[in-house]
A = this chain, B = another copy of it.
Amino acid sequence: METLKARASAQPLQDADDLINSVETFIFDCDGVIWKGDSLIDGVPETLDMLRSKGKRLVFVTNNSTKSRKQYGKKFETLGLNVNEEEIFASSFAAAAYLKSIDFPKDKKVYVIGEDGILKELELAGIQYLGGPEDGGKKIELKPGFYMEHDEDVGAVVVGFDRYFNYYKVQYGTLCIRENPGCLFIATNRDAVTHLTDAQEWAGGGSMVGAISGSTQREPVVVGKPSTFMMDYLSNKFGIQKSQICMVGDRLDTDILFGQNGGCKTLLVLSGVTSLSMLQGPDNKIQPDFYTNKISDFLSLKAATV
């Protein structure tokens, strides 16, 4: 009854302790929840400390694939947050973890349309790759009769956000997917928007994935949010029941949907891209269990009940 009511229309979070006590793990989206661009959101360090002191497991999930877990760790450090690399799940890591989970053959290679983070994670997973930033400056020769060779050992094309996206990469990835038997098409995410800088919204990984989908007429396997791959992975790895997880995010169509697809509790924070009027607007069909302004409300809402 309670769940039904909550799904029908999100409730403002009123008693943080109730929510905190009802779960053992919090999964946080990063951008719009922990930080905005390069600035930490108010009250985040104290909130994370409080949750840790209560013995909660904290996991940080991001669809951003431009950095590896290790590189993300440095971002947390720079912002003064004490977060272990093992607590970070970026979609770059998810792509490598997915390939390991399906026993991607050792003699096959991955062609990467994306940035450094994906390469780093593939390397750590012991998977051979080509492409990535190295192909950013390549151009197609336009001589009559020109034929682009491609590596027949490519068994998967991984596509993520790529500032250095070009036609060479589109054609190379398309050839692999179309001509190499069984070649996989894996997307780190299909986000319309990403946060290259906090001055405006930037076209996201959805554009690179849309380009390859448009030329191959294939749909990708998505490993980032809102696909449940990362949730399933976390749940298996740590032996967590999904009902014992609360997913906290600022986006309805990735974070909240991700939590709901995984069968978790969901909390929308209004510190990122979603406003209260968007949540309550007639076009929105995704209702989290709860919403609040920012995660540090955990502290004040808690204090109020003492």
Taking Cβ atoms with an 8 Å cutoff, the residues of A that contact B are: 37-38, 140, 142-148, 162-167, 170-171, 174-175, 178, 190, 192-193, 196-204, 206-217
Contact = CB atoms under 8 A, between A and B. Distances in A.
Nearest to A218: B192
Contacts of A206: 214-215, 217
Contacts of A144: 37-38, 197-198
Q: Could you say which of A145, A200, A207 has the most chain B C-beta atoms within 10 Å of its C-beta?
A: A207
14 contacts: A37-B145, A142-B163, A142-B196, A142-B197, A144-B197, A147-B197, A170-B207, A203-B211, A204-B215, A206-B214, A207-B214, A207-B215, A210-B213, A211-B211
A244 to B, nearest CB: 33
B174 A203 contact: yes
Nearest to A198: B145
Contacts of A170: 165, 203, 207
A146 to B, nearest CB: 5
Q: Could you say which of A146, A147, A192, A210 has the most chain B C-beta atoms within 10 Å of its C-beta?
A: A210
A162 B166 CA distance: 10
Contact of A207 (B147, B202, B211): B211
A268 B216 CA distance: 23
Contacts of A178: 201
Contact of A208 (B162, B174, B204, B211): B211
B192 A216 contact: yes
Contacts of A203: 167, 170-171, 174, 211, 214-215
